[in-house]
């Protein structure tokens, strides 16, 4: 919330600045892709919320989004391309060595997300970053 103070002797007047915020026009279920007709701009005073429709259209809801409530930054993300329990290729690259294997995804993830995966051979749980081709690069 942005406030401006105006000094008018001998009074101080506080004024609030309203900003646009993106709100759903209907309830959007978790894991659903947000479409153009699902959101609208409303005036309000809220921090940590989206202020442009283009930032949310095409993203995936991480939690249920309710009509009229502003969409916070942590409530949406890129659409998931890896689902929980899916078997995907994974690789580790370091010091001139590249190791490739298959892993089981332990959570959903979109491009750029860090997710937990389990090595099928050793049953070890490790973290990796989801790549655009649907594989996982194991974190160093």
Residues 6+ apart with CB under 8 A from 8: none
Domain with CATH 2.30.30.760 in the chain: 80-138
CA distances from 72 to 9, 12, 91, 136 (A): 39, 33, 33, 27
Could you say which of 3.40.50.10150, 2.30.30.760, 1.10.540.10, 2.40.30.20 is the CATH number of the domain covering 80-138?
2.30.30.760
pLDDT tens digit sequence for 62-86: 999 999 999 999 999 899 999 999 9
pLDDT of residue 14: 45
pLDDT of residue 18: 72
The average confidence (pLDDT) of the chain is: 87
The answer on pLDDT for 56 being more than 70 is: yes
The terminus-to-terminus CA distance of the chain in angstroms comes to 40
Report CA Rg, the chain. 21
For the domain bounded by 2-77, which CATH number is listed?
Answer: 3.90.1210.10
The answer on pLDDT for 13 being more than 70 is: no
Cα distance between residue 50 and residue 41, in whole Å? 9
Cα distance between residue 74 and residue 7, in whole Å? 38
Parallel/antiparallel/unpaired status of strands 136-138 and 87-94: parallel
Domain with CATH 3.90.1210.10 in the chain: 2-77
């Amino acid at each position: 919330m942005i406030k401006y103070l105006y000094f008018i002797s001998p009074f101080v007047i506080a004024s609030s600045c309203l900003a646009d915020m993106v709100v759903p026009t209907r309830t959007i279920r978790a894991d659903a892709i947000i479409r153009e007709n699902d959101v609208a701009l409303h005036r309000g005073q809220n921090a940590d919320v989206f202020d442009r429709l283009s930032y949310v259209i095409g993203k995936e809801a991480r939690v249920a989004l309710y009509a009229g409530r502003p969409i916070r930054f942590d409530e949406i993300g890129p659409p998931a391309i890896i689902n929980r329990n899916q078997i995907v290729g994974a690789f580790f690259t370091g010091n001139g060595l590249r190791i490739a294997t298959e892993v089981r995804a332990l959570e959903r993830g979109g491009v750029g997300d860090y997710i937990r995966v389990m090595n099928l051979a050793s049953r070890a749980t490790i973290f990796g970053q989801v790549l655009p081709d649907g594989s996982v690069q194991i974190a160093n």
